[in-house]
């Protein structure tokens, strides 16, 4: 069996300028901070970034954006990141917003080899502007093209060397969708068990979708509790 | 103008909003006033709270020291889960919403119209943090309840004949709950169902831009 375990440096070595990078995570849970750090260190620029949100100011993908590495951000909202909102308002970064579940479905379609989805979400709003529409059963719906990435950066709790992944609690979010929708899928994981140790019924992402598995050495501070969100 | 502490009003709105929820319903709580609702829900109502980031059966905010770094609500707050809870990905999370399995969504408003149009996601040139899950919640929840202060900070009506801001969704609101009244969107306009203690009908009409339909019988107080 192919052993997909690799070093952090090797996992990100083929990321190029201009790549489209999908990044899992919704807030801190599921955000692959170590992989993002490696991309930042590697120096790739002119990136298109697809993520639910841009993390919070000076954290995670916000560091890539603040360093000027991201040309375009495709996301659902930026409500907790005033820095990136400011950059967007000053025209320093292009931002494309989608309703959260539509963003998820566009990625799911990309991963499933479909050209796009049809939806009535956003009908009769400014979201319809410049969108292609089609009539289905007498109802006007928006055509939303599928999204795929050159690379997906994934965070999972447990993996085996084949790349079977298990996520934890609300850290699942966009990770299993993005893990299907990129040409190269890199998963950072908190623990690796031997092949056969995971219950097949509890695997969230089958290993066939995953190219590289990187064990993160420690749960660093950026993965920990954000005090300003705690009581 | 004197700064008014709006918190007691917001609590009043949340307390009243909680009464709209039937036992066993699946609900979603938007940011702002809706997040105050859970403390007015009795546990024996067995309500299931959905959180967009992939939780059904969300509990309450974690007490200090009990936080789990992998368990937050859609606003980033550390939360607990209740018995029967489940976790899922973001596509499934919105399948639940768009597929008609969300009984009630509670959302705040920048503006809401008498026809039930809702504007709450963008003020062009001033406030554009993105759409998040709001558009799908507004358009697809089986029942959409808007919880909002009756007027904005400058005292201007938020309940308008028609919205001036870009819409989140058209004709999506079923009920509006403010510190002054509970109003249902009907085919003829906004019907006043309940009115707050100490508020008279004339005062309510003056603070509302949309046309209000006031039943001739005595209106219950809350």
CB contact under 8 A, A172 and B168: no
* pLDDT recorded at residue A113: 98
Which residue ranges make up each domain of chain A?
Answer: 8-115+146-215
Helix axis angle for B90-98 and A100-111, nearest 10°, is 120
Distance CA B140, CA B102 (A): 8
Structural element, H or E, at residue A135: strand A133-136
* pLDDT recorded at residue B7: 80
Q: Which domains does chain B have, with CATH numbers?
A: 7-46+100-213 (3.40.1080.10)
The yes-or-no verdict on residue B200 having pLDDT over 60 is yes
pTM of the model: 0.96
Q: How far is A99 from chain B (nearest CA, A)?
A: 5
CB contact under 8 A, B89 and A175: yes
- Whether A116 has its CB under 8 Å from any CB of chain B: the answer is no
* pLDDT recorded at residue B6: 79
* pLDDT recorded at residue B30: 93
- Name the residue facing B70 among A104, A126, A169 (closest C-beta): A169
Q: How far is B63 from chain A (nearest CA, A)?
A: 6
The yes-or-no verdict on residue B139 having pLDDT over 60 is yes
Interface size between A and B, measured as CB pairs under 8 A: 154
**pLDDT tens, chain A, 231 aa long:** 799 999 999 999 999 999 999 999 999 999 999 999 999 999 999 999 999 999 999 999 999 999 999 999 999 999 999 999 999 999 999 999 999 999 999 999 999 999 999 999 999 999 999 999 999 999 999 999 999 999 999 999 999 999 999 999 999 999 999 999 999 999 999 999 999 999 999 999 999 999 999 999 999 999 999 999 998
* pLDDT recorded at residue B5: 74
The yes-or-no verdict on residue B2 having pLDDT over 60 is no
Structural element, H or E, at residue A35: helix A33-42
CB contact under 8 A, B90 and A101: yes
Cross-strand bridge partners of residue A94: A72
Mutation to test the B interface, candidates A95, A220, A230, most B Cβ within 10 Å: A230
* pLDDT recorded at residue B1: 38
Catalytic machinery residues of B: 52
Pair A183, A150: CB distance under 8 Å: yes
pLDDT per position as a tens digit, B40-67: 999 899 999 999 999 999 999 999 999 9
Contacts of A123 in chain B (CB under 8 A): 170
Helix (H, G, I), strand (E, B) or coil at A102: helix
Q: How far is B27 from chain A (nearest CA, A)?
A: 17
CB contact under 8 A, A108 and B64: no
Structural element, H or E, at residue A63: helix A61-66
* pLDDT recorded at residue B22: 97
Secondary-structure breakdown of chain B: helix, strand, coil percentages, each rounded to the nearest 5: 20, 30, 50
Neighbours of B184 (CB within 10 A): 17
* pLDDT recorded at residue B167: 98
Pick the CATH number of A8-115+146-215 from 3.40.640.10, 3.40.1080.10, 3.40.50.300, 1.10.760.10: 3.40.1080.10
CB contact under 8 A, A100 and B94: yes
Task: Give the chain A residue nearest B90 (alpha carbons).
Answer: A173
């Amino acid at each position: 069996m192919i052993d997909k375990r690799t070093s952090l440096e090797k996992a990100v070595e083929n990321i190029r300028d201009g790549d489209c990078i999908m990044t899992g995570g919704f807030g801190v849970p599921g955000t692959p901070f170590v992989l993002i750090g490696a991309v930042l260190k590697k120096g790739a620029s002119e990136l298109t970034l697809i993520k639910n949100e841009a993390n919070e100011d000076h954290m995670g993908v916000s560091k890539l954006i603040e360093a000027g590495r991201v040309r375009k951000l495709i996301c659902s909202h930026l409500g907790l990141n005033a820095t990136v909102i400011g950059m967007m308002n000053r025209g320093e970064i292009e931002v494309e917003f989608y309703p959260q579940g539509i963003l998820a479905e566009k990625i799911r379609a990309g991963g499933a080899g479909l050209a796009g989805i049809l939806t009535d979400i956003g009908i009769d709003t400014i979201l319809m502007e410049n969108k292609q529409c089609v009539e289905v059963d007498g109802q006007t719906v928006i055509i939303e093209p599928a999204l795929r990435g050159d690379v997906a950066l994934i965070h999972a709790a447990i993996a085996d060397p084949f790349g079977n992944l298990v996520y934890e609690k609300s850290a699942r979010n966009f990770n299993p969708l993005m893990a299907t929708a990129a040409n190269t899928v890199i998963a950072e994981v908190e623990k690796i068990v031997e092949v056969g140790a995971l219950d097949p019924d509890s695997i969230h992402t089958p290993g066939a979708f995953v190219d590289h598995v990187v064990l993160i050495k420690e749960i660093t501070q950026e993965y920990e509790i954000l005090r300003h969100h705690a009581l | 103008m004197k700064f008014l502490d709006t918190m007691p009003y917001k609590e009043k709105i949340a307390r009243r909003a909680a009464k709209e929820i039937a036992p066993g319903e699946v609900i979603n709580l938007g940011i702002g006033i809706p997040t105050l609702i859970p403390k007015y829900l009795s546990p024996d109502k067995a309500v299931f709270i959905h959180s967009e980031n992939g939780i059904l059966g969300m509990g309450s905010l974690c007490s200090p020291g009990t936080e789990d770094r992998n368990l937050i609500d859609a606003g980033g707050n550390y939360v607990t889960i209740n018995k029967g809870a489940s976790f899922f990905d973001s596509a499934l999370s919105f399948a639940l919403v768009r597929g008609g399995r969300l009984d009630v969504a509670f959302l705040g408003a920048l503006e809401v119209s008498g026809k039930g149009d809702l504007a709450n996601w963008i003020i062009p040139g001033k406030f554009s943090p993105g759409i998040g899950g709001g558009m799908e919640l507004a358009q697809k929840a089986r029942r959409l309840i808007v919880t909002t202060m009756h007027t904005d900070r400058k005292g201007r009506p938020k309940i308008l004949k028609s919205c001036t801001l870009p819409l989140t969704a058209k004709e999506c609101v079923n009920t509006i709950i403010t510190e002054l009244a509970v109003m249902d969107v009907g085919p003829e306009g906004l019907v006043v169902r309940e009115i707050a203690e100490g508020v008279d009908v004339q005062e309510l009409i003056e603070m509302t831009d949309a046309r209000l339909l006031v039943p001739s019988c005595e209106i219950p107080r809350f």
